[in-house]
């Protein structure tokens, strides 16, 4: 039995999504920018998808949604696009130390161009330090980029409060909501720009979206030049099947989010209960309450995360974050919440999602418990 518990890294494409996409690879192959019959058909499908996304995130106008290749591109476009368009007036950008690498690196590249980048710390519960934000944001702040849900520890950031701070100082608020959309209610009324990704919500890989507020209108300098598609912000022929896929994924998420949230909450509690009642010296990283149910991050004292993974190859989890686990450096997110260095190496991220069953949780927790006990019994330090 293979148990997939890595839903923060990616999700399988829902069969209903795949079904919706298939005709747009072959029969309905038209270029949505062409004005003939097949072009119009493709364009209609794209516009339905745009509407499905807009409706899930409560955007007033579907034209506020533009398609990208994924959240990495959306984040780069939002941050660099705003910086380059407005940067002659204001130079300060605030982000947080636990953002996804693509946000951190986009900001770093701007600091080389003369922008002032401030990396806001987080408290030990994984929530951004609001007092720091209050003291740092000023009228020279162009942009604040803070995620809604963290991809390693699952904590939910106080976006309403951050939004109010930004509005008080006329700073734009960009939010990477890749791990929030489709899982918890997301409302773009708080944001000026918001990124999301198809493959985190049971849609296809290689597509994402960026919400760009139209009222008042936010302008962006594009990342690359071309035919001027997507309101001139993102040139290139749209990947129609992928657009249809992310749209369908949003439609399904809107219908199933509430019941799925309740189901995952029960599974999460079952998971935690089994771990805590069978093992000592286990720590749940990140706030106990302000988190999504589908993302758990544990530190098992005395047992390296990578070692655990080798001991249970059929359980697909992640030690630290997927992007950093190849380097065996302790995760920068766990460092940022100042857990002990040894505990950062002893962490596993467990993602529960749409296809996770109770049987799988029973099986996986049994495995984890026996691997931890075995590794601890072999460890001279334990
Ligand atoms: C996965 C993820 C990304 C990157 O998304 P892609 O679509 O794979 O480029 C960005 N931010 C967060 C929080 C993510 O979880």
Q: Is the CB of 197 under 6 A from ligand 1?
A: yes
Q: Is the CB of 157 under 6 A from ligand 1?
A: no
| Structure confidence at residue 148 (pLDDT) | 98
Give the ligand 1 atom nearest the CA of 197: 7
What is the set of active-site residues?
Answer: 323
Q: Whose CA is nearest to atom 5 of ligand 1?
A: 71
Q: Is the CB of 76 under 6 A from ligand 1?
A: no
Q: Is the CB of 365 under 6 A from ligand 1?
A: no
* Cis peptide leading into residue 82 (ω within 30°): no
Q: Can you tell me the mean pLDDT for 220-237?
A: 96
pLDDT band at 329 (very low <50, low <70, confident <90, very high): confident
Q: Is the CB of 178 under 6 A from ligand 1?
A: yes
Reduced to 3 states (helix: H, G, I; strand: E, B; else coil), residue 196 is strand
Reduced to 3 states (helix: H, G, I; strand: E, B; else coil), residue 167 is helix
Written as one string, the DSSP assignment of 42-103 is HHHHHHHHHHHHHHHHT-S-GGGEEEESSHHHHHHHHHHHHHHHHTTT--EEEEETTS-HHH
> Helices (H), strands (E): how many in the chain?
11, 12
**Dist CA 151 CA 349 (whole Å):** 9
Q: What is the pTM of this model?
A: 0.96
What secondary structure, in 3-state letters, does 305-331 show? HHHHHHHCCCEECECCCCCCCCCCCCC
Give the ligand 1 atom nearest the CA of 8: 15
**Dist CA 19 CA 15 (whole Å):** 6
pLDDT band at 241 (very low <50, low <70, confident <90, very high): very high
Testing ligand 1's pocket by substitution, the residue of 71, 146, 181, 207 carrying the most ligand atoms inside 8 A of its CB is: 71
Q: Can you tell me the mean pLDDT for 279-288?
A: 97
Give the ligand 1 atom nearest the CA of 72: 9
Give the ligand 1 atom nearest the CA of 10: 1
Q: Can you tell me the mean pLDDT for 54-64?
A: 98
Q: Is the CB of 96 under 6 A from ligand 1?
A: no
**Dist CA 11 CA 380 (whole Å):** 38
Of 250, 216, 252, 213, which is closest to residue 233 (Cα–Cα)? 213
Rounded to the nearest 5°, which phi and psi values hold at 220?
-135, 145
- Helix pair angle (37-57, 240-278), 10° resolution: 30
The larger pLDDT score, comparing residue 381 to residue 265, is at 265
pLDDT band at 97 (very low <50, low <70, confident <90, very high): very high
Phi/psi-derived region of residue 96, left when phi > 0, alpha when psi is between -120 and 50, beta in every other case:
beta
Length of the chain: 382
**Dist CA 186 CA 193 (whole Å):** 13
User: Residue 41 Cα, ligand 1 centroid: separation in angstroms?
Assistant: 30
pLDDT tens per residue across span 115-128:
999 999 999 999 99
| Structure confidence at residue 323 (pLDDT) | 41
| Whether residue 324 has pLDDT greater than 50 | no
| Whether residue 224 has pLDDT greater than 60 | yes
| Structure confidence at residue 321 (pLDDT) | 40
Q: Can you tell me the mean pLDDT for 301-312?
A: 94
List the beta bridge partners of residue 143.
93, 172
| Structure confidence at residue 327 (pLDDT) | 60
Q: Whose CA is nearest to atom 7 of ligand 1?
A: 70
Give the ligand 1 atom nearest the CA of 200: 1
User: Residue 330 Cα, ligand 1 centroid: separation in angstroms?
Assistant: 20
Are 368 and 6 contacting, i.e. CB atoms less than 8 angstroms apart?
no
User: Residue 311 Cα, ligand 1 centroid: separation in angstroms?
Assistant: 28
Are 272 and 284 contacting, i.e. CB atoms less than 8 angstroms apart?
yes
| Whether residue 158 has pLDDT greater than 50 | yes
Question: How far from 141 is each of 79, 95, 116, 169, 210, CA to CA, in Å?
Answer: 13, 11, 9, 7, 21
| Whether residue 322 has pLDDT greater than 80 | no
pLDDT band at 326 (very low <50, low <70, confident <90, very high): low
Q: Is the CB of 11 under 6 A from ligand 1?
A: no
Burial class (CB in 10 A: 0-12, 13-18, 19+), 131: exposed
Are 311 and 260 contacting, i.e. CB atoms less than 8 angstroms apart?
no
| Whether residue 159 has pLDDT greater than 80 | yes
Q: Is the CB of 99 under 6 A from ligand 1?
A: no
pLDDT band at 53 (very low <50, low <70, confident <90, very high): very high
pLDDT band at 114 (very low <50, low <70, confident <90, very high): very high
pLDDT tens per residue across span 368-380:
999 999 999 998 8
pLDDT band at 330 (very low <50, low <70, confident <90, very high): confident
Radius of gyration from C-alpha coordinates of the chain: 21
Q: Can you tell me the mean pLDDT for 98-122?
A: 97
pLDDT band at 342 (very low <50, low <70, confident <90, very high): confident
| Structure confidence at residue 347 (pLDDT) | 95
**Dist CA 257 CA 295 (whole Å):** 15
């Amino acid at each position: 039995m293979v148990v997939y518990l890595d839903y923060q890294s990616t999700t399988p494409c829902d069969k209903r999504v795949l079904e919706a996409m298939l005709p747009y690879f072959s029969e309905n192959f038209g270029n949505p920018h062409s004005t003939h019959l097949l072009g119009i058909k493709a364009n209609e499908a794209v516009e339905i998808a745009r509407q499905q996304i807009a409706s899930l995130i409560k955007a007033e106008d579907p034209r506020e949604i533009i398609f990208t290749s994924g959240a990495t591109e959306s984040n780069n476009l939002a941050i660099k696009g705003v910086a380059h368009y407005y940067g002659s007036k204001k130079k300060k950008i605030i982000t947080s130390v636990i953002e996804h690498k693509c946000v951190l690196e986009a900001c770093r590249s701007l600091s080389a161009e003369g922008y002032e980048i401030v990396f806001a710390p987080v408290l030990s519960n994984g929530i951004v330090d609001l007092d720091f934000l209050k003291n740092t944001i000023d009228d020279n702040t162009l942009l604040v980029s803070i995620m809604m849900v963290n991809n390693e520890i699952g904590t939910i950031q106080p976006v309403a409060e951050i939004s109010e701070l930004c509005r008080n100082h006329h700073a734009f608020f960009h939010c990477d909501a890749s791990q929030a959309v489709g899982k918890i209610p997301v409302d773009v009324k708080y944001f000026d720009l918001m990124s999301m990704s198809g493959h985190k919500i049971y849609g296809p890989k290689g597509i994402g979206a960026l919400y760009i507020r139209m009222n008042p209108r936010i302008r962006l300098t594009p990342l690359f030049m071309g035919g001027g598609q997507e309101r001139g912000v993102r040139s290139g022929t749209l990947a129609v099947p992928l657009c249809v896929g992310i749209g369908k994924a949003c439609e399904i998420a809107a219908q199933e989010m509430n019941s799925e949230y309740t189901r995952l909450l029960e599974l999460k509690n079952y998971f935690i209960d089994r771990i805590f009642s069978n093992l000592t010296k286990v720590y749940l990283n990140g706030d106990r309450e302000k988190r999504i149910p589908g993302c758990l991050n544990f530190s098992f004292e005395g047992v390296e995360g990578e070692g655990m993974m080798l001991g249970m190859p059929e359980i697909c989890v992640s030690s630290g974050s997927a992007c950093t686990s190849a380097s065996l450096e302790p995760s920068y997110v766990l460092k940022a919440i100042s857990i002990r260095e040894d505990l950062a190496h002893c962490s596993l991220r467990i993602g529960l999602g749409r296809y996770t069953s109770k049987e799988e949780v029973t099986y996986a927790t049994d495995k984890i418990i026996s691997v931890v006990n075995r590794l601890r019994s072999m460890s001279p330090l334990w």
